[in-house]
Each structure stands twice: as structure tokens, then as C-alpha cells.
Amino acid sequence: MLLLKNADIYAPSHLGIKHILIGEEKILKIYDEIPEGFSDIESIDLDGKKIVPGFIDQHLHITGGGGEGGYKTKVPELPLSKLIEAGITTVVGLLGTDSVTRSVENLASKALALTEEGITTYYLTGSYEFPTPTIAGSIKRDIVFLENCIGVKIAANDHRDSALSYEELARIGTEARVAGMISGKSGHVTVHMGSGKFNLDQIYGALEVSNLPITTFRPTHVNRAEEVFKTSIKFAKDGGYIDLTSRLPGCIDDVESYKILKNENILDRVTFSSDGFGSWSNYDKEGNLIEIGYSPLDTSIKSFKEIVESGEPIEEVLKVYTSNVAEVLKLDKEVGKISEGYFANILVLDENLELDSVISRGRVMMSDKNIIVRGTYE
């Protein structure tokens, strides 16, 4: 049992100063006044500090990304402490370009390991590649029978994709959707969007040759190229969901992107993620690699602060990192909010909106800016 006293709660809606009782990984009760008889319970007085829901990152390379520049450019697996210092308490792991030296089995194992270490972790089957790599023999079987598998990943509009036809992408979408219906999961298709010449044409083409709802396909990295971003606004207005990558190098600024999307009145269709531990790379006109690196995890918490400091209200900005993400992933009964019955995934922010403390599933992982829980081999 843990009692958080005098917390200024953004749930994401602003609830004001209240007291939170935590037990068995969850928020048991939120009080206006502390009841009598609580003196023996461990407590933390937050003295009016802001608390917000733990961030949900739906695009993380938990087994490492990269490798396009040879074996030595493979990014290592993600350690627990990197998630904690980035304020991420719920994760969706996925593969990228490399499904040869990495596998969906490797991904599933890492997701289970992070869950054991205290972070709520899910994953997507598949990768950039088609036919789609799976564990149980098909996209449908993976999503239905593997508990933490909630959808599938594929790439489009990129020189590293599998040159998908509309029909092939539609079949991927159909498998994922039906699996989601059977299992009660989101059953979505995360579509890595490159900056190629097709824009979102492949997704719209798949919708034209099928009866799938537009929400089946979730384009990500939509802020990486101006034309992709413009078309993604139309996609959201048509009823789809779009995902932006926080602080993506050389791409549209997060503050500017947020304000554009707000003016277009589509923020309820928008999420942000980090692409953490995934590689970024630049190529010359002949397709030769000239630069490669990997993305940090703390881009979303930094992006959140920048957008709020630009004049946007905290309770609105929070949604694209928390409750919006939970809703589109069908996880909104347990994460994404500070509410009774939800997992106690909580971030404490100081007066400068810097991360002060992290609680994940009721366990204090960071306190006073010091990480106190690290991964098994850290």
C-alpha cells in the first residue's frame, strides 16, 4: 500500500489537489480528504507537484533497431532504465527492417521480460517484410493466441518495404481485423511510412479493394515528409488514426505539427510515439547509406514539455501521449488515465515540467530524479 498525498492530478483532465491510495499494482481510491486510520500506510507528500498518467509508447524497438549499415550498426536491446527515465510505463514493441537476425520470437520474449521487470508491455507481430514473419504460422493465429500480441507491423512507401500490392496489404488488414474481433484486441496494422513517391496511396488502395474500415491501418512517422503529413491530415479527417514520431530529426517540428492538427480539429485522431531504439538513416541519390544512428526514448516527454510551454493546455496535450493511445489500442480500461481501478502508472513532474518520479504498476521506479529500479543485468 502506498499513499500519494497532495498531488495536483492531471488525469488527463485536471482534478486538482487530491490523495491517491495505491495497492496491488492499481489505483484503489482517490480522496478529496485523507480518511482517519491511514497513519501507518507508507506515504509520499508531493506538496502540490503535478502528476500525470505514465506515457504509452506504441512504437518502440525493444529488441533494438538498425542494421542497415552492416552487422556493427545493430542497436542493442532496450534496458529497463531507459524506459523509466523517459516516463514510459506502457510499451508496444515491434520489429523494423531486420527480421533475419531478429525474430518475432525474440520480440515476444523481450516483451515478457520487460513485463516481469515492471513495465506493461505488448508487441506487434510482423516487420517491414512480406510475407509476414509470425510465430504461430499466421497473423491471425499470433494475435488470437499470443496474449501480449495486439496487432501487426508492415512497411509502405519506403525503399526497404516489400513493394506491396493493394490486395496484399488488404489481406494483411483482413487477417489483423478478424483476429482482433475474435480476441477482443485492437487487431490493427501499424504501417511504417517512408518518404517515397507513393505517399499514403498504398493504404487508400487497400481500402478501395476491400471492405475494411479505415481504422484498420495506422500510419506512423507521418511527420517525416511534408506530403505524407498533408495526406495524413486527410486520412484523419476521413476517420483514421495517425501517429507522429516525436522530435524526428530533419522533420516537421512537434510544436508546429501539434498546432496544425489542433487547428484542423483532429487531435482526437492523433497519437505521438518515440520510435525509440529504432534506427534513422540518410541515403544519397543512388541509395547509398551516408549516415545512421538510433532514436532515444525520451523524445515524447521532451516533446510534451515543448508543446505545453508553447501555450497549449496540459490536459489537452497529455491525451496524444496517454488516453488517445490507450483508446486506439483498446487498452483504455487499465492504462492511459489516473483513475480508480487503473494500473498505478504515474509520472510526477516538477515546477518546470521535468520528470521527477515514476511509478509503474504501483512500484516506485524513480524518485527525486534518481532511478531506483534497474533491469536485471544493468
The set of catalytic residues is 275
**Beta-sheet pairing, 149-156 with 188-193:** parallel
134 by Cβ neighbours in 10 Å (0-12 / 13-18 / 19+) ranks as: buried
What backbone torsions phi and psi does residue 198 show, to the nearest 5 degrees?
-95, -10
CA distance 22 to 221: 36
Instruction: Write out the three cell numbers for 32.
Output: 478529496
Instruction: Write out the three cell numbers for 274.
Output: 518515440
- Distances in whole angstroms, Cα of residue 354 to Cα of each of 55, 56, 304, 358, 369: 14, 17, 10, 12, 9
Place of cell 545512421: 292
AA identity, residue 98:
D
Place of cell 527492417: 97
Which residue from 302, 301, 283, 281 is spatially nearest to 292, judged by alpha carbons?
A: 281
Sign of the torsion angle spanned by Cα atoms 360, 366, 372, 376: positive
Cβ(346)–Cβ(54) below 8 Å: yes
Most distant CA pair in the chain, distance: 72
Place of cell 533475419: 100
CA distance 269 to 7: 29
